[in-house]
Amino acid sequence: MKGLLKNLGLILILVGAIILVACSFTGNVNNNLILGGAAVVIVIGLVAYIAINKRIAD
């Protein structure tokens, strides 16, 4: 469980990147809701990665 929690940030970043790649392949790059949602998921993943790894290291 601790290993999954430690990698939660990376998983969220990958999910956001996969959404962006899927939008690029389907040509759906004009939908701001999807692109903004993917950007929010990436930022949350980055913050979660930093915060969780800082707390687990301590």
The answer to whether 6 and 56 have CB atoms below 8 angstroms apart is yes
Predicted confidence (pLDDT) per residue in 17-48, tens digit: 999 999 999 988 898 999 999 999 999 999 99
pLDDT exceeds 70 at position 57: no
Residue 44 confidence (pLDDT): 96
The answer to whether 33 and 1 have CB atoms below 8 angstroms apart is no
Who has greater pLDDT, 37 or 58?
37
Tokens read off for 34: 């999807």
CA distance 47 to 16: 13
Domains of the chain: total = 1
Which range of residues forms the domain containing residue 43? 2-57
